[in-house]
């Protein structure tokens, strides 16, 4: 069983004292300055020097000349150990060892947890759950997390960062410095605990691969998952969840938990231990944990037992409301709002039924709204009633990264600032890390300098320039297409097969979007199929099955076709959706026994047909004008 030991910084290490030293001349590293002083103490890094006037100066050894550093090194080696101090230190270490010994690992009891009952389409009603901290301050301090003296072969892999939500003064993050492929160097995780109000932070090095998963609401405790340096973080059933007490100088283990207790279900032949996938703080005394089998649990830290459980789908476990009272979970093919501590189902989010893959949620800071982003679509709900607004289309919003409300109106999704009032993108914020968070009235992001460290910066979004340019309400002039408009439908002669079927399907799509069809309308929907330039691709040889690989193997040619759907006005393309056919990814050995590889690729490419793509294409009801958005960069100094 894996035990958890975090390095504890012990203050009070023995330092050689040189009380009988004689004055000597000291020179700085540049050779420009000298000083007469007596050596008082030297701990290996810093020398304490007493001047003639009695003042004590503390100087880092690297600030002194080579001759002085050599002298210090010799004096430290000659300094005898004080037997009384050694004995006292040994006694103190024994006490600390007992006090800070790693606690016994606890196993989570899953069987007695209550299974959450999901109630389909129910009308919900709940109070908003606003963020405890609406605004940290007008100006927050930039926090610099320094890497210090780390190996140049280690690329610092940055993890997530977390604020404590009660007062927002603390932030937790970590950097994983992986050097396990070099036997002469040690891998280390640098854990940082920062102060938002002062910009100061303290760090602790740990030999294990630790990934933080949050600070408790009061900022006194932290969650970590422990992995292995020798393989991928997701490999094996070895990830242990650790709860530790935080202070500026040390992290003290409270207890560690096996990923999950071995479970023996009535119909199972084998008991099994299941990995931890995700964790978060619900309250100061409760945590949320999900596993590889997509079960989400609320766990009491007092008992180490699961209070309730629910089967969840893809995603990051759950999304908590700003105050932690509610959470959105993905179960089955739908999303639900639950009460965090009881697991009570408040209701289902209308319009979310689907795979849920790639759909990310966020609560507004006042707790009154919920938004989600998925594949060019933004959806908004009233968090107090569950009532859904009409989803709207924003091109180039992927949903790969979590969106964030920055106030009751604007959502920052990927790089775009989206106005939920006008249902349009209004600005583009680039730079900084994609891993952004909104907290205390500021958007936080990191700017890394690799070995030098990483800066955590907080800025107000939208900034004044954006707010001044944004319309107060929705304006029909902001859209290429909107309900009530008249459009014509044109199919290019290249669409020969199933032409009538595609024509009829698109006429129905346009009518469903409340558009009127007429010939020669100023705005036209144009469908086209074209042949693109010939390309080449290689298939890897010597493996089964053959897989697409650009690193070598047998090269073949292919001719892709491009399918396009465009809204045109005055001969100019206002909006476009396209797709391009590609060669097959897998070709088995059996397929190429009697048939040349080129023939197989040609045959498979010929099978691709545009009918299904056109029929499955969704036409947004409202399409914003593709205007040139203002652009701003997030950098180390703020918004530029």
pLDDT tens digits, 89-101: 555 555 544 444 4
Higher pLDDT, 339 or 592: 339
- What is the arithmetic mean of pLDDT over 508-526? 95
> What is the spatial distance between Cα 105 and Cα 101, in angstroms, rounded to a whole number?
12
Rg of the chain over Cα atoms, rounded to whole angstroms, equals 31
In terms of phi and psi (left: phi > 0; alpha: psi -120 to 50; beta: otherwise), the region of 351 is left
> What are the tens digits of pLDDT across the range 164-181?
999 888 999 998 888 766
In this prediction, what percent of the chain has a pLDDT beyond 70? 80
Q: Picking from 120-129, 191-200, 337-346, which range would have the lowest pLDDT averaged per residue? A: 120-129
Question: CB neighbours (10 Å) of residue 177?
Answer: 22
Q: Picking from 5-19, 106-120, 429-443, which range would have the lowest pLDDT averaged per residue? A: 5-19
* Structure tokens, 221: 């405790």
User: Closest Cα partner for 240 from 227, 231, 230?
Assistant: 227
Higher pLDDT, 263 or 490: 490
Higher pLDDT, 194 or 149: 194
pLDDT at residue number 77: 63
* Structure tokens, 623: 């399409």
* 310 pLDDT more than 70: yes
Higher pLDDT, 249 or 455: 455
Higher pLDDT, 452 or 437: 437
- What is the arithmetic mean of pLDDT over 203-207? 86
> What is the spatial distance between Cα 64 and Cα 33, in angstroms, rounded to a whole number?
10
Instruction: State whether residue 74 is helix, strand or coil.
Output: helix
> What is the spatial distance between Cα 282 and Cα 288, in angstroms, rounded to a whole number?
6
Higher pLDDT, 362 or 158: 362
Confidence of residue 86 (pLDDT cuts 50, 70, 90): very low
Higher pLDDT, 352 or 609: 609
pLDDT at residue number 262: 44
* 283 pLDDT more than 80: yes
> What are the tens digits of pLDDT across the range 38-74?
888 887 788 888 888 878 888 888 888 888 888 888 7
pLDDT at residue number 178: 80
User: Closest Cα partner for 634 from 443, 464, 398?
Assistant: 443
The Cα-based distances of 98 to 252, 256, 356, 370 in angstroms read 12, 17, 48, 48
- What is the arithmetic mean of pLDDT over 456-474? 84
* 356 pLDDT more than 90: no
Task: Evaluate whether 431 touches 635 at the Cβ level (below 8 Å).
Answer: yes
Instruction: State whether residue 508 is helix, strand or coil.
Output: helix
> What is the spatial distance between Cα 603 and Cα 596, in angstroms, rounded to a whole number?
11
> What are the tens digits of pLDDT across the range 207-222?
888 899 999 999 999 9
pLDDT at residue number 234: 40
* 523 pLDDT more than 70: yes
pLDDT at residue number 549: 44
Strand partners, 535: 558
CA-CA-CA-CA torsion sign (215, 217, 221, 227): negative
Higher pLDDT, 569 or 254: 569
* 368 pLDDT more than 70: yes
Confidence of residue 331 (pLDDT cuts 50, 70, 90): confident
pLDDT at residue number 282: 96
pLDDT at residue number 31: 78
pLDDT at residue number 34: 85
Q: C-alpha angle with apex 188: 184 to 192, nearest 5 degrees?
A: 155
pLDDT at residue number 414: 87
* Structure tokens, 258: 């096996």
- What is the arithmetic mean of pLDDT over 553-581? 91
* 382 pLDDT more than 90: yes
Residue with tokens 């997030």: 634
Based on DSSP, count helices (H) and strands (E) in the chain, helices before strands.
Answer: 6, 47
Q: What average pLDDT does the chain have?
A: 81
- What is the arithmetic mean of pLDDT over 569-592? 86
> What are the tens digits of pLDDT across the range 593-607?
788 888 888 888 888
Q: Picking from 80-84, 352-356, 405-409, 581-585, which range would have the lowest pLDDT averaged per residue? A: 80-84
* Structure tokens, 417: 């600032």
The DSSP 8-state label assigned to residue 118 in this structure reads: P
pLDDT at residue number 320: 96
pLDDT at residue number 353: 57
* Structure tokens, 1: 């069983």
């Amino acid at each position: 069983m894996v035990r958890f030991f975090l390095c504890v910084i012990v203050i009070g290490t023995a330092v050689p004292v040189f009380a009988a030293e004689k004055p000597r001349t000291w020179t700085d590293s540049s050779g420009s300055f000298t000083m007469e002083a007596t050596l008082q103490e030297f701990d290996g890094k810093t020398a304490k020097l007493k001047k003639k006037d009695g003042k004590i100066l503390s100087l880092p050894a690297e600030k002194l000349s080579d001759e002085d550093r050599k002298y210090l090194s010799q004096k430290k080696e000659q300094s005898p150990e004080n037997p009384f101090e050694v004995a006292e230190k040994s006694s103190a270490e024994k006490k600390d060892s007992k006090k800070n010994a790693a606690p016994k690992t606890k196993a989570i009891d899953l069987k007695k947890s209550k299974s959450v009952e999901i109630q389909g389409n129910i009308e919900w009603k709940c109070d908003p759950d606003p963020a405890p901290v609406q605004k940290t301050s007008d100006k927050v301090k930039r926090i610099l997390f320094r890497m210090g003296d780390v190996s140049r072969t280690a690329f610092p892999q940055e993890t997530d960062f977390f604020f404590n939500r009660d007062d927002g003064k603390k932030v937790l993050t970590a950097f994983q410095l992986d050097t396990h492929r070099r036997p002469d160097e040690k891998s280390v995780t640098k854990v940082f605990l920062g102060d938002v109000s002062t910009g100061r932070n303290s760090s602790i090095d740990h030999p294990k691969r630790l990934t933080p998963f949050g600070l408790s609401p009061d900022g006194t405790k932290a969650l970590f998952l422990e992995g292995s340096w020798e393989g991928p973080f997701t490999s094996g059933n070895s990830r242990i969840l650790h709860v530790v007490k935080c202070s500026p100088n040390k992290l003290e283990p409270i207890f560690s938990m096996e990923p999950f207790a071995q479970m023996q279900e009535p119909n199972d032949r084998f008991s099994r231990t299941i990995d931890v996938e995700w964790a978060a703080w619900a309250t100061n005394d409760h945590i949320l944990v999900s596993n590889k089998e997509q079960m989400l649990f609320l766990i009491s830290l007092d008992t180490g037992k699961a209070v309730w459980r629910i089967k969840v789908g893809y995603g990051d476990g759950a999304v908590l409301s700003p105050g932690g009272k509610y959470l959105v979970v993905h179960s089955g093919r739908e999303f639900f709002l639950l009460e965090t501590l009881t697991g009570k189902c408040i209701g289902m989010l209308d319009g979310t039924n689907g795979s849920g893959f790639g759909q990310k949620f966020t609560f507004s800071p006042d707790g009154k709204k919920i938004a989600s982003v998925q594949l060019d679509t933004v959806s908004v709900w009233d968090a107090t009633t569950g009532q859904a607004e009409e989803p709207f289309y924003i091109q180039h919003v992927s949903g790969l990264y979590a969106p964030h409300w920055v106030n009751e109106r604007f959502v920052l999704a990927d790089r775009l600032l989206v106005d939920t009032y006008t249902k349009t993108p209004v600005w583009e914020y680039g730079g900084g890390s994609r891993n952004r968070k909104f907290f205390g009235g500021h958007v936080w992001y990191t700017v890394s300098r690799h070995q030098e460290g990483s800066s955590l910066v907080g800025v107000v979004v939208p900034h004044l320039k954006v707010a001044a340019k944004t319309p107060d309400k929705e304006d029909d002039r902001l859209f290429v297409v909107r309900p009530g408009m008249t459009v014509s439908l044109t199919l290019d002669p290249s669409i020969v097969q199933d032409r009538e079927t595609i024509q009829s399907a698109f006429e129905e799509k346009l009518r469903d979007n409340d558009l009127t069809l007429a010939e020669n309308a100023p705005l036209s929907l144009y469908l086209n199929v074209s042949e693109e330039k010939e390309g080449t691709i290689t298939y890897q040889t010597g493996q089964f099955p053959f897989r697409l690989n650009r690193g070598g193997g047998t090269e073949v040619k292919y001719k892709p076709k491009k399918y396009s759907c465009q809204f045109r006005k005055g001969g100019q393309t206002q909006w476009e959706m396209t797709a391009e056919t590609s060669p097959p990814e897998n070709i088995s050995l059996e397929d190429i026994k009697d048939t040349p590889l080129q023939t197989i690729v040609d045959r498979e490419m010929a099978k691709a047909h545009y009918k299904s793509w056109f029929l499955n294409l969704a036409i947004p009801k409202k399409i914003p004008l593709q205007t040139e958005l203002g652009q701003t960069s997030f950098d180390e100094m703020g918004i530029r």
